[in-house]
Structure 1
Amino acid sequence: MQRKAYVPGLAALLVTLVAGCTSGTGGDGSDIDAKPGAPTTTTAPPGKYRTLSEPCGSVDRATLRDLLPGVAQLPEEQQEKAYEGTAAVTYDTDRRVGCAWSADSPDASHHLAIDVERVVSYDPAVSDADKAQEVYAKKEDGAALPPPVDGEGTGGDGAGSDGAGDDTTPSGSPSPGKTPNAATTPPGLQPRLLDDLGDAAFVDDIFAASGSAAKRRTVSVVFRTSNVVVTVRYAEQPAHATTVPDSKELQEKARGLARKLADQLNE
């Protein structure tokens, strides 16, 4: 029988291939990238919310009757119009919506507005929720909240500060001609962080200057839930210049509405 010829080159090739396969596996059996230094792309997770609800229908009639007592004194046709509210004009209702209501009574005028923004990050390395936190943080910084009193919390009705922070408009920009919050807001009700609402939240309380004929108080509650930032603004302007709007009552009502909106987002 004729013996097959031995080819040294073929044997060397097989040894090289086996060695190459062995060196491609780490000592712990994990695979090693065949191309060291190749860039690794990490895409941040998308936001929890992809759409927004119609804003004017997000506040029920019972809540509106409580926040706008003057509506009940209007003729039925005007009541319906007042409860409908006025939708904010936005370019993309999947990204931002809002609605406003108002009503006058012999004792005071009340104004309510909500703004809901769904934040989208266009940076693949930054999640929508993280981008929304940046948006929320700017609003919080703009409110210039006073530091909390030592030993007190930040989220309950008893939390607050006895310091006088700079007053701001509901949008967060400084407001000239405002009296310090501490001068007109009871202790424990000054603008502060809230720890019982969404992922992050704060309440602001602004009172018109004492020299103003109309002493208007505006309470703003701003909170973030995932990639959505919500602002609730509730204002009262008494008919009599000597009347001071009740800070506690306005804050409780604004916070109550904010909690309802947060619950709707989680449904």
Structure 2
Amino acid sequence: MQRKVFVPGVALLAALAAGCTGGSGTEGSTADSKAGDPTTSAAPDGKYRTLREPCGSVDRGMLRDLLPGATSLPPEQQEKAYAGTADVTYDTDRRVGCRWKADSPEATHQLVVDFERVVSYDTTVSDDDRAEEVYAKQVTAAHLPSPSATPEDEETGEETGEETSGTSPSPDADASPSASAEPGDTPADAADAPSPTPEGLQPRTLGGLGDAAFLNDVLARSDSTAQRRTVSVVFRTSNVIVTVRYSAQPALMTTAPDSKELQEKAQAVARRLAEQITE
């Protein structure tokens, strides 16, 4: 009778090979990875995997122009004003923000920037497509006047069915506060009349800024307090949505902040941030 020969080395190699091909596959994966059947081709991830440090995103020269009241502060307070205050966040790869504020005898100015990196957890939806959906909700929430509406239609809202002074969007339309004003800061007398904005400076979409962009301009009016104007510029670049809010509140109740000046400065900040993202 012929004996069968058992070779331990062969069995060991077979076991090792099985272990290598049957692993869990978790090594190297990240929290942003889309779940689903590994054999199914998932929608592509977004271009951006991290976000910039927000409080260093606006240079000192630009802040001097945006916060004129800071130049008269003592050196220590001036440095604090220009340093900004970072928003509290639990994931700096998904959401970051910073805010600056300075008072002067003439007016109070505030700048807020917010960066959101959108991630889709649906294997059939790319990060870019999901970001486009979030951005579209913000456009809808802004109630931008219809391009085809006449000035009379914009005043009455009869043709479009929308108020031209509507609320601005949040950086994340699903969960965040208004992108045009601070929490609880609602334009006063909004039911009586739309916020007066000079011709050509009404809320609108913007070209040449990211993949898509829009601007909103809201004037909060009250008989007992000074008028506060907040200009918001929101743009999307791939899977990142950036919001810039710049506001001014003059000390005199009879003075309205200049819409053109605020819009130009807010757009300048947005363009600089867009350049930084693509660098």
Q: Tell me if TM exceeds 0.5.
A: yes
Answer with 217-226 or 139-148: which moved more.
139-148
> In structure 2, how many angstroms separate the alpha carbons of the residues matched to 1:161 and 1:265?
40
Aligned 1:216-235 pairs, distance under 5 A: 216-235=228-247
Secondary structure in 1 matching 2:205: strand
Secondary structure in 1 matching 2:55: coil
Q: Give a deviation string over 1:46-74, Cα, whole Å, max 9, x none.
A: 10100011100011000100100000010
Aligned 1:1-267 pairs, distance under 5 A: 41-149=40-148, 163-164=154-155, 165-169=164-168, 171=170, 172=178, 175=186, 177-179=188-190, 183-267=195-279
Secondary structure in 2 matching 1:163: helix
In structure 1, runs of 5+ residues without a counterpart are 1-39, 152-159
Secondary structure in 1 matching 2:56: coil
Secondary structure in 2 matching 1:219: strand
Aligned-residue CA RMSD in angstroms? 2.3
After TM superposition, give the deviation of residue 77 of structure 1 in Å: 0.9
Secondary structure in 1 matching 2:235: strand
After TM superposition, give the deviation of residue 195 of structure 1 in Å: 1.6
> In structure 1, how many angstroms separate the alpha carbons of the residues matched to 2:179 and 2:64?
30
After TM superposition, give the deviation of residue 117 of structure 1 in Å: 0.2
Q: Give a deviation string over 1:102-145, Cα, whole Å, max 9, x none.
A: 00011100000001000010011111011111111111111111
Judge conservation of contact 1:143–1:168 (CA < 8 Å) in 2: yes
Judge conservation of contact 2:142–2:166 (CA < 8 Å) in 1: yes
Judge conservation of contact 2:145–2:203 (CA < 8 Å) in 1: yes
> In structure 2, how many angstroms separate the alpha carbons of the residues matched to 1:41 and 1:181?
54
Residue type of the alignment partner of 2:221: A
Residue type of the alignment partner of 1:66: D
CA gap 1:118/1:233 in 2 versus in 1, 3 angstroms: same
Q: Which has the larger radius of gyration?
A: 1
Judge conservation of contact 2:209–2:235 (CA < 8 Å) in 1: yes
Answer with 55-64 or 41-50: which moved more.
41-50
After TM superposition, give the deviation of residue 42 of structure 1 in Å: 3.1
Residue type of the alignment partner of 1:74: L
Pairs aligned (count): 220
> In structure 1, how many angstroms separate the alpha carbons of the residues matched to 2:189 and 2:214?
20
Judge conservation of contact 1:219–1:234 (CA < 8 Å) in 2: yes
CA gap 1:259/1:173 in 2 versus in 1, 3 angstroms: closer
Secondary structure in 1 matching 2:277: helix
> In structure 2, how many angstroms separate the alpha carbons of the residues matched to 1:86 and 1:181?
35
CA gap 1:67/1:142 in 2 versus in 1, 3 angstroms: same
> In structure 1, how many angstroms separate the alpha carbons of the residues matched to 2:208 and 2:258?
22
CA gap 1:170/1:111 in 2 versus in 1, 3 angstroms: farther
Report the TM-score when normalising by structure 1.
0.77
> In structure 2, how many angstroms separate the alpha carbons of the residues matched to 1:162 and 1:220?
23
> In structure 2, how many angstroms separate the alpha carbons of the residues matched to 1:261 and 1:112?
13
> In structure 2, how many angstroms separate the alpha carbons of the residues matched to 1:115 and 1:194?
18
After TM superposition, give the deviation of residue 210 of structure 1 in Å: 4.5
Judge conservation of contact 1:203–1:221 (CA < 8 Å) in 2: yes
